[in-house]
Structure 1
Amino acid sequence: MEPPVRLASTGTIIHGVSVGELLGVSTLADARLLAGESGLGRVVQRLNVMEVPDILAWVKPHELLLTTGYPLRNTPQSLGRLVTDLDDRGLAALAIKLGRYVDELPPEMVEQADRLGFPLILLPNDVGFDDILNQVLTDILNRQAAVLVRAEEAHRALVQVVLAGGGLDEVTAEVAALLDVSVAAVDGRGRVLASAGPHEAALREIVGREGSSAPSGAPASGPRVSASVPVIAGGHHHGRIVAYSPAGSICDSDVGILERAATVAALAVTRQEAVHAVESKYRADFLRDVLTGRAGSIERVAARGRAFGWDLERPVTVLVAELDPDGDERTAQDRLVTSWTAAMRRHDPRGAVAGFSHEVVAVVDASVDAARVARDAASAFADSPPVTFSTGTSRPSRGPDTLPEAYSQALKAARVGRQLHGPGAVAHFDQLGVYRLLSLVNDTDELHAFVRETLGPLASDDDAENADLRRTLQVLLETNLNVAETARRLHFHYNTLRYRIGKLERLLGNFTDDPHLRLNLTLALHVLRMRGI
């Protein structure tokens, strides 16, 4: 069996033989581990012999260092420090012959080796270094040759997956067959996109429990994924390829194959994204033509809608979601489309949804609660940075021929709703009332002039009392000049309210006797409520 996975600090996979495996070869059959048992998983790639006191200048990482102790015969006190220095340089282990030049290892050296997990091996006196070198190096070369052969087989198999246009299902199935383990492709949120292998159900359960917390490339103990490598394409992290074995570990060459599979998965993801982008553009272009009345006959609209999985022949409601002005459209628009697509999939799988340049439009069954769909999409969108969108809802549309009118209603409801209630508003066209008419006035300067002419000094907030007087006027108009009811709502004394009415009439005119003036005042107050004009 090959050694457990061990990665260098750069994430490079280290191929070789573990110290624990070396203790099982014939030349080391009588060797004895003196200390550092926790480091038996260290990987040996090369061997070296210590014949000079300043050996530190010549050692390399992942070496098994052999010594008779001759260079240290006159300075046994340096043995304690030697373990720390060798461990700092990444050596795998130190094997020593005792009795000839060094009688025993000092206790501090053994303690330090146990603390660092650095194996100290006592070599048999009757075994020559050349025998150890030959056998261990042969094992390492054979192991690396086998790894290369296996990697080449995996490479050919994965290339065939790419050439055949395979996706994540084919990638996971191929890798599971190659490694005889369970393999899953997981997205950035921890959702399993594809899986295969003998313990597929167990792997799905483990991934669902762990989410995206598994360490990349490293084995884990207990009921966890055995190995995990990231899937990166175009500089973006798209998820990971994970493998599970009931034994709890995956060998280093297997992780190498997983990394090749992650590269193939990245190609599949980018290809899928490109196809999805083209399909999304066609869907969006067609829906835009439908909503602007340029898609052709009713029969053609219905037929093409069915090709996209949409049912446009039933009574529907149109929803328009627009990013609020403070949001960054470059990063938020795609997330807005994703949120609405997911919400529509849950509430109305036959509904149409597409992203335009500045908005997302959904066509949903008229029996579905449109406000609930909007809240669902907003909830998913809220997982991202704090950007909001406003939603408008149309009246029910009986079929494709009335969809352009419904789209216009929803668009107007979204924009007027934001003006009235601020960012994140959800407004229905039928609830706009007089604001629907005011929104038709494109000349905002004319609206401002109307407010100034009608409300006079109350049109501005130069005086702190102006807002209070406008509130009093608004409630008076809402109660049809019912002084008692107005006083009750505003918590004023009756005489206080009579005084305020007198002051309002001196500023605005005799509105209590002039119904036309009351209408103008009502409209002016409505205009003030419309934000963004």
Structure 2
Amino acid sequence: MTADNRFDIQLGDILSIPMMQGAEVLAGEKGLRNSIVSVNVIEVPDIVDWVRPGEFLLTTAYTFSDDIGAFERILPELKNKKVCGIGIKTHRYITEVPEHALSIANDIDFPIISIPVDVPYGDLIKAIFNKIIGEQTRTLKQIFDFNNRVRDIMLRHGGMKAIAEQIYHISRSPVVICDEVFRDSYFYCPDPKKEAQIIDDYNRLIANVFSRSPSSVPDVTGRSARVGNTKIIRYSIPIYYDNMRYGVIYLWDTDYVIRQRDLFVIESATSLIALDILNRITLVDRENVHRSTFLEKLLSSDEKEQEKAIENADYYLFHPELASQCVVLLVQQDLPLQMTPNNSRMIKNINTNILNLTNRLKQEYDGYFLSTRKNDRAVFLLQYDKNASDEAKREQCQRFIDILLESAKEKDLLSFTYVGVGSIAETYQDLSSSLSQAEQTVRILVSRKSDERVLFYSDLGLLRVLGHPLLREDALKYAHEVLDPLEEHDEKHRGDLIETIRVYFQCGGNLKRVAEVLFTHYNTIIYRINRIRDMYGIDLRDPETAFNFQLALKIRELLQ
């Protein structure tokens, strides 16, 4: 909602002023909902150049008495200038407003109001300004009272349903508050007739509200919603705090009674509503501290720490005798994730999105899982039924991952999301290995810089063997021996020989494709390949040489 119309009253409101008794709306009645912010007198022909949006113009038609066609021509211009309407005294300079002028006003919904002849314009202007100021004062009081009621509800932990009830009392319309963090909705409408009017649109809205990316514009919007054979306006008021969106309020104007100031009053309390959601997040974070401690001990390689965790297994519904598996979700933005003033808000936003993912899993995933969040990542521990086959376990894990990725896609996080899956631990003593494997696969995904979002440790093939603790040191030593000469060249000459070799294997030795991937001229790629051969005696076309370099690169990718 723009700042210009937050306190506006409607043109139709001034008809209740005692001095306007006897006034008649001659045309443009639909425009009586226009906002009025000021009043002015028009008695000069070039008034269009001086009017302001929201002005109500008063005239005796003296200027147009000799050329009534000028009055007809000026109406669309005033409409374009967003003048809210015009008041005119007849029976003085003109006997009546011509039918053609009234027809034009009706076509463009521009109000023409007949002012009683005996009403002095000076007194009327004063009365209108008093009306405007009085309504603005009442709006400020309404904002103050509404915010106090919302604050009282929060202090006594009354919940979102009670807040929705207060919004209904202001809007006199069906309302739903959608919490986009915890994926909850709170509907309130005590009038069965109104509820029946909008129930189909409500069901469609709720079915999709959590499955689409929210608008990044923190502004109130209104759009037509089809209800049976008619259309009504459904307003949406985003819930923002500290430039972060936490949800949205929807209102159905079934009786066409919602006004801009009603929306502004409701909008004024959205920061409080966001704080209520933040309080809930804080409580979940506190719970997450205890869950994190339990998982850290359970996933530790220290047997004593694991035994401490097992003592509390019943509290977290963890069954030590069942097979388990670790899944690591990484949400990696371009900025380094350090708690600095510049990006602390980004980290907070990532945490909120990860919390949203976790809440969706709780609603849609039918298996057991534990989770903990830490800055840019979440660790999930899945457990499987005792009699589940390996294929069933894989399918269950894949369902879990599909929900993760679908949710990330809806939040526009898919391009930053990586999911690593460790091997299945048949006993809880093997959980530390499953976690380590999941973290390794995430690192591999990030280093590959491809569109691949998920990697199972069981799909790594030979790299699983090379990642064994007993072979790790020797494998890395081998990789250094193969790659170090070229790396030293790249560091010394700011070259790209290692990257060229990596892409060479990725593209199956197709030099044209290598040039395309590296955005480098084809002749430059040929020069690099020849330079590698001539300077270091490395012929990438030789099968054994190619295998050695591919293996060394894979070792680096997995272990370093």
Give yes or no for TM over 0.5: yes
The question of 1:397 aligning with 2:426 is answered yes
Kept in 2, the 8 Å contact 1:324–1:389? The answer is yes
Rounded to whole Å, the distance in 1 between the matches of 2:45 and 2:376 is 73
Alignment of 1:282-293 (within 5 A): 282-293=290-301
- Structure with higher Rg: it is 1
Alignment of 1:2-401 (within 5 A): 9-10=2-3, 12-19=5-12, 22=14, 28=20, 30-51=22-43, 61-74=53-66, 76-105=68-97, 109-110=101-102, 112-125=104-117, 129=121, 143-144=135-136, 146-164=138-156, 167-177=159-169, 179-187=171-179, 192-198=184-190, 202=199, 204-205=202-203, 207-208=205-206, 211=209, 216-218=220-222, 220=224, 222-223=226-227, 224=232, 226-293=234-301, 300-302=308-310, 304-307=312-315, 309-321=316-328, 323=330, 330=337, 334=351, 335=353, 338-339=356-357, 342-343=360-361, 346-347=364-365, 350-356=368-374, 359-367=377-385, 368=393, 369-383=396-410, 384-385=412-413, 386-399=415-428, 401=429
Identity of aligned residues (%): 19
Alignment of 1:511-522 (within 5 A): none
**TM-score, normalised to structure 1's length?**
0.69
**TM-score, normalised to structure 2's length?**
0.66
Kept in 2, the 8 Å contact 1:176–1:182? The answer is yes
Kept in 2, the 8 Å contact 1:292–1:404? The answer is yes
Kept in 1, the 8 Å contact 2:60–2:88? The answer is yes
Kept in 1, the 8 Å contact 2:34–2:84? The answer is yes
Kept in 2, the 8 Å contact 1:226–1:250? The answer is no
Alpha carbons of structure 1 residues 405 and 91: separation in structure 2 relative to 1, 3 Å: closer
Aligned residue type for 1:407:
L
Alpha carbons of structure 1 residues 130 and 449: separation in structure 2 relative to 1, 3 Å: closer
Alpha carbons of structure 1 residues 438 and 171: separation in structure 2 relative to 1, 3 Å: same
Partner of 1:437: 465
| Displacement after TM superposition at 1:102 (Å) | 2.7
Deviations 1:95-149 (A, max 9, x none): 2223422345467644543343221223454655577567766665665555455
Kept in 2, the 8 Å contact 1:317–1:393? The answer is no
Rounded to whole Å, the distance in 2 between the matches of 1:206 and 1:437 is 51
Any idea what SS the aligned residue of 2:33 has?
Answer: coil
Kept in 2, the 8 Å contact 1:390–1:418? The answer is no
Deviations 1:296-326 (A, max 9, x none): 566642454554x442434132223364999
| Displacement after TM superposition at 1:351 (Å) | 1.7
Any idea what SS the aligned residue of 2:240 has?
Answer: strand
Aligned residue type for 2:424:
R
| Displacement after TM superposition at 1:162 (Å) | 3.9
| Displacement after TM superposition at 1:210 (Å) | 7.5
Alpha carbons of structure 1 residues 156 and 209: separation in structure 2 relative to 1, 3 Å: same
Partner of 1:502: none
Partner of 1:446: 478
Rounded to whole Å, the distance in 2 between the matches of 1:231 and 1:320 is 32
| Displacement after TM superposition at 1:69 (Å) | 2.0
Alpha carbons of structure 1 residues 428 and 28: separation in structure 2 relative to 1, 3 Å: same
Gaps of 5+ in 1: 1-6, 453-459, 470-506, 510-519
Kept in 2, the 8 Å contact 1:97–1:123? The answer is yes
Any idea what SS the aligned residue of 1:395 has?
Answer: strand
Aligned residue type for 1:381:
A
Any idea what SS the aligned residue of 1:426 has?
Answer: strand
| Displacement after TM superposition at 1:71 (Å) | 4.1
Aligned residue type for 1:316:
A
Rounded to whole Å, the distance in 1 between the matches of 2:362 and 2:10 is 54
Rounded to whole Å, the distance in 1 between the matches of 2:405 and 2:237 is 33
Kept in 2, the 8 Å contact 1:348–1:364? The answer is no
Alpha carbons of structure 1 residues 275 and 296: separation in structure 2 relative to 1, 3 Å: farther
Aligned residue type for 2:72:
G
Alignment of 1:494-533 (within 5 A): 532=557
Rounded to whole Å, the distance in 1 between the matches of 2:550 and 2:110 is 81
Any idea what SS the aligned residue of 1:389 has?
Answer: strand
Rounded to whole Å, the distance in 2 between the matches of 1:421 and 1:68 is 74
Any idea what SS the aligned residue of 2:255 has?
Answer: coil
Deviations 1:5-31 (A, max 9, x none): xx6x54632433433x55577765654
Rounded to whole Å, the distance in 2 between the matches of 1:420 and 1:24 is 71
Rounded to whole Å, the distance in 1 between the matches of 2:180 and 2:455 is 30
Aligned residue type for 2:206:
G
| Displacement after TM superposition at 1:164 (Å) | 3.5
Rounded to whole Å, the distance in 2 between the matches of 1:346 and 1:438 is 37
Alpha carbons of structure 1 residues 25 and 419: separation in structure 2 relative to 1, 3 Å: closer
Higher mean displacement: 233-242 or 171-180? 171-180
Alpha carbons of structure 1 residues 290 and 323: separation in structure 2 relative to 1, 3 Å: same
Higher mean displacement: 287-296 or 122-131? 122-131
Kept in 2, the 8 Å contact 1:419–1:531? The answer is no
Gaps of 5+ in 2: 338-345, 386-392, 485-499, 510-541
Kept in 1, the 8 Å contact 2:29–2:111? The answer is yes
Rounded to whole Å, the distance in 2 between the matches of 1:417 and 1:130 is 76
Kept in 1, the 8 Å contact 2:8–2:260? The answer is yes
Alpha carbons of structure 1 residues 380 and 324: separation in structure 2 relative to 1, 3 Å: closer
Rounded to whole Å, the distance in 2 between the matches of 1:102 and 1:311 is 88
Partner of 1:476: none
Instruction: Give RMSD over aligned pairs.
Output: 4.8
Rounded to whole Å, the distance in 2 between the matches of 1:155 and 1:344 is 33
Any idea what SS the aligned residue of 2:324 has?
Answer: strand
Alpha carbons of structure 1 residues 447 and 222: separation in structure 2 relative to 1, 3 Å: closer
- Paired residue total: 467
